[in-house]
Structure 1
Amino acid sequence: MKKKQNPMIVGQPVLIVVDIQKSAFEDDGAIPLMPGMIERMRRARAVIDAARAGGIPIIFLQESHRKTGVDYGREMDGDEDEHLREDWEGTKIAAEEVGLRDDDYVIVKRRYSGFIGTDLSILLRGLKAETLIMVGGLTNICVHYTFADGHQNDYHCRVVEDCVAGSSIAAHDAALANMEYLQHGARRTSDEVIAAFLGQSGHKAA
């Protein structure tokens, strides 16, 4: 059976920058990282800049945990050690690398998905979002779970496959395949997305 190819953007797009934090540029061993992580996170900047130029709203997600560890839940039952504590420098958003501005939307989350325990849904409704386009990491964890929750909340979801990185190449590839399974046409390149953003008109500045 021939797969249906969904359009890249339906209605109002929003760029979601998932956990591009300082630790993404420092392999401290707390979380496994695939080769090429830094290059992929740096490439995301071009997508962010294109969103700004095209007037596309941008939301930055930031995973952060309390010093007591009370909100880690089951996050260290698998391969991950203690990570992204609120008092660690590496937990800060990589502001210079992503071009973060004082007036940007930033949502702090305690879980992998940007939808769990946050006001992301309220913000998306206020922005009248219909299509969520994601960059950042990890492909198989925070990107994947945010994508899946966006899908289950009836958003059109897209992932910029050369601007995300996973805990391993195998996990990265499997997560991308899973997202494509949920929504055909979910996987997009940075060149495609940049061209689409720069072609947008009639949107308010991010």
Structure 2
Amino acid sequence: MDETEIYRKQRMGGAIEIGRRTALVLVDFVNGFIDPDIFGGGNTLEAAEATVPLLDAFRSRGLPIVFTRIVYADDGSDAGIWCEKAPRLRELTEDNPASHVVHFLKPRDGEFIVRKTQPSAFFDTNLGSILRAKQVDAVAVVGATTSGCVRATVVDAISSNFRPTVISDCVGDRAQGPHDASLFDMQQKYANLVTASQIDSIFA
């Protein structure tokens, strides 16, 4: 049996309608998630570089742009159970360059930076409030890692009734297997998938 047959039989993989206004959410495209000696590796750098023209496209349209960073207190007092699984996350403090957005995607004035301590950009943050205040009903999601914070953000986006689209060549992971599996899973259950070259298709 073809692995997609059961999904088709169960009517999975349907297309989500295009939103009225789409924001770009850049999940953890920070130095530490590009550097293979910290949390990067695989295709994370290539995904971040592929995001440059996409970011320009959103800027030229005047659409909302949100960057996320994982940021913990210097004393680790806000580190939760996630840090037991991945203890080096505690190193991502406000002043650590590893927690800063990569220089070639540097946020501009008027663009939002959401600091988080959990995988999802929505969990215990003001991201939902920011998007609703900007009359956003859809999100284009890029970032790292595909199987981690990107996927968690996409699941919470659709759970919050935002219409998610994952830009497949602008998300990266340290290993190809989890990257591919997560893209497949998100396309079947949680998001539309397009490439950066197809970005015009997501705008109303």
Return the TM-score normalized by structure 1.
Answer: 0.85
* 1:30-45 matched pairs, under 5 angstroms: 31=39, 33-45=40-52
Matched residue, 2:30: 21
Q: Does 1:174 align with 2:189?
A: no
**What is aligned with 2:114?**
107
Are 2:197 and 1:191 aligned?
Answer: yes
User: Is the 1:114–1:146 Cα contact (8 Å) retained in structure 2?
Assistant: yes
Instruction: After superposition, give the CA deviation of every residue in 1:119-176 in whole Å (9 maximum; x if it has no partner).
Output: 1111111011111110111111111111101111111111111000123111111211
TM-score, with length taken from structure 2: 0.85
Structure 1: gaps (5+ residues): 201-206
Q: 76, 85, 99: which one pairs with 2:83?
A: 76
- What aligned pairs does 1:55-134 form with structure 2 within 5 A after superposition? 55-78=62-85, 81-82=88-89, 83-94=91-102, 96-134=103-141
Q: Is the Cα contact below 8 Å between 1:160 and 1:190 reproduced in 2?
A: yes
Q: How much has 1:34 moved relative to structure 2?
A: 4.3
Match of 1:204 in 2: none
Aligned residues: 193
CA distance, structure 2, for counterparts of residue 49 and residue 160 of structure 1: 14
- Structure 1 vs Structure 2: percent identity of aligned residues? 23
What are the superposed Cα offsets for residues 45-93 of structure 1, whole Å, 9 maximum, x if unpaired? 1110011112221111111111212222112333553442223111112
3-state SS, counterpart of residue 150 of structure 2: helix
* Partners of 2:35 and 2:41 within 8 A in 1: no
Asked if the contact 1:34–1:169 (Cα under 8 Å) also holds between the matched residues in 2, the reply is: no
Cα root mean square deviation, aligned: 2.0
Partners of 1:192 and 1:133 in 2: how far apart?
Answer: 12
* Cα deviation, residue 27, structure 1: 2.2
Name the CA distance, whole Å, in 2 between partners of 1:4 and 1:136: 23
